Amino acid sequence: MGAVVYSGLQAEHNATAAPGVKPVGIMIVTRLKAQADEVVSDINAYVGRHVAVADHTDSRATPEQLHESDIVVITHAAYTRAKETLSGVNADRWHRLTRWRGGRRLLTIIDEALANVVEHTQLKLDELSRVIGHITHEMRLSHAVEVNALETLRECMLFQAGANDGFGVGTSLAWEAGGSLEDIAPLSIMSCRALAGAPRASS
């Protein structure tokens, strides 16, 4: 495949680059472990020396191999798991894959679309109410912003559920990934009514 030729040419360029020219490390992501092994074998055969290494559960690369290899080839599953640990205590796994003797790997080639990388999370109104009911006074004092966000979300969900009762349809609220509690907390019931287009009660 084209990635094999391109990666091989880049590895050769890295070896002959003039001083001061930053080498380009490559990560290739394949669907299957057998494909990863095949890509590594093809690249090394094309270049005529070991410039690529596979890293998966059947063939773990050593830290030295990951550091020295121009190209590392992993699977979709390994890529997803490594990304999930990026902000946790196992973040070194991601750094080992994406960094080498030339610095940060500057190119990632993903063979076929990544599967199962979109996660959906659901929260039902009764579950939210049950959680809020278990919040102690001490927790309310120490996590006021978070508790306020949960209570505001419940109030919005209650309003939307009431507004839809007469139509016989379900109710869902959605927000973009990455939204913080600070984004949710300032909401008020009045803003929920405005979004829903409901008329305000007269005083």
Burial class (CB in 10 A: 0-12, 13-18, 19+), 143: middle
pLDDT tens for each residue of the chain, 203 residues long: 789 999 999 999 999 988 889 999 999 999 999 999 999 999 999 999 999 999 999 999 999 999 999 999 999 988 888 887 665 556 688 888 999 999 999 999 988 765 555 566 677 888 899 999 999 999 999 999 999 989 988 888 887 777 666 666 555 555 555 555 445 444 444 455 454 444 444 43
Type of residue numbered 99: R
Distance in angstroms (rounded) separating the CA atoms of residues 154 and 165: 16
Residue 185's pLDDT is what? 42
Three-state secondary structure readout of 55-115: CECCECCCHHHHHHCCEEEEEHHHHHHHHHCCCCCCCHHHHHHHEECCEECCEEEECCCCC
CATH code 3.40.50 region(s) in the chain: 2-110
Using the structure block, give the residue that is written with the tokens 């008329």: 199
Neighbours of 42 (CB within 10 A): 17
User: Which residue in the block uniquely carries the two structure tokens 């095949």?
Assistant: 38
Tell me which fold the domain 2-110 belongs to: Rossmann fold (3.40.50)
Q: Which of 31, 73, 80, 78 is nearest to 54 (CA)?
A: 73
Query: What span, in angstroms and rounded, lies between the C-alpha atoms of 187 and 200?
Result: 16
